[in-house]
Amino acid sequence: MANVIGDSSNPSVPAVVGRHSANGIGVSASSELGWAVRAEAKKETAMYATSDAGVGIDARSNANTGIIASSQKGIGIHAKSELGWAVRAEAKKETAMYATSDAGVGIDARSNANTGIIASSQKGIGIHAKGGKYAGYFEGIVMVTGDIQLQNADCAEDFEVSAAEPVEAGTVMALNDIGQLEQGKQPYDKRVAGVVSGAGDLKPGLVLGRQPGHTDRVPLALMGRIHCKVDANYESIEVGDLLTTSATPGHAMKASDPARSFGAVIGKALRPLKTGTGMVPILVALQ
């Protein structure tokens, strides 16, 4: 049987309230096998914890999830601390903290002087976040002491496109007279800027300069693997061939003239194309 059970049908009355008059912990929960804390809400906040100097919520589990909070329309966890930890979650084998929300905020943790969220796991995941738009949103400096592993393929940056012509992923782009992007249309064009990222199964792993709401910008691949439109009618393309702009709008071709290639190379072909036009993976290498 549970040590504490809180049940309330009144929207203005919390199911469980924990307070500490000194600098202690409002709620401390530990579990050897199951959930340390589980909170659910359909419209409002599943869990709300504040602390002036101590820990808002301290939940630990040796074998399962430290905290599970879900909300269909409101906030999964809202934690605020003036001096100490807003939320601290630890797990030795499974997930330290798991929060889901269908329409609101999964976790809202704020601290004026210390750490908003500390989540640690010895064998599992410290924090797992999934969002339809953003999995995480950060304001300020993000510091990482370990490796960052990105599943997608390239690093891209958003650039402004000429309003006269919409473009699709894989298109070769060049700069116009006012510094905007337009489809490349000249062979060995030294104004070439790169290839629009995101074609096929090669999506950008990192996008710089993103401005939400701006529809006149496209991500241009700076490095990594991408799919690129090519035209092999000029000359067959083999693996390892350098590519440059062509007279076919938005398409690359084999760079067979070394004298004209300097400053106009897009990248290196990773698959061959004997004839015709198509999309091939390339390694971006502007030079």
Given a cut of 80, is residue 282 above it in pLDDT?
Answer: yes
What is the mean predicted confidence (pLDDT) over 23-45?
64
Domains within the chain, CATH numbers bracketed? 1-149 (no CATH), 154-284 (2.40.300.10)
Distance CA 12, CA 113 (A): 30
What is the mean predicted confidence (pLDDT) over 254-270?
95
pTM: 0.66
What is the mean predicted confidence (pLDDT) over 234-262?
96
Tell me the pLDDT band of 69, cut-offs 50, 70 and 90: confident
What is the mean predicted confidence (pLDDT) over 95-100?
78
20 and 50 Cβ atoms separated by less than 8 Å = no
161 and 215 Cβ atoms separated by less than 8 Å = no
Q: Per residue in 183-209, pLDDT tens?
A: 999 999 999 999 999 998 988 888 888
Tell me the pLDDT band of 72, cut-offs 50, 70 and 90: confident
- H/E stretch holding 160 reads strand 154-160
- 3-state secondary structure (DSSP) of residue 229: strand
Distance CA 273, CA 287 (A): 22
- Edge-to-edge strands, sheet with 67-71: 37-41, 67-71, 97-101, 127-128
Q: State the Cα torsion 190-172-166-218 to the nearest 10°.
A: -90
Average pLDDT, the chain: 81
Of 225, 176, 165, nearest to 197 (Cα)? 225
Distance CA 196, CA 167 (A): 8
Residue showing tokens 């199964």: 201
Per-residue confidence (pLDDT) for residue 42, from 0 to 100: 65
Distance CA 35, CA 102 (A): 21
Given a cut of 80, is residue 224 above it in pLDDT?
Answer: yes
Sign of CA dihedral 127, 130, 135, 136: negative
Q: Per residue in 170-186, pLDDT tens?
A: 999 999 999 899 999 99
217 and 160 Cβ atoms separated by less than 8 Å = yes
Name the residue with higher pLDDT: 39 or 267. 267
103 and 133 Cβ atoms separated by less than 8 Å = no
- Edge-to-edge strands, sheet with 117-121: 27-31, 57-61, 87-91, 117-121
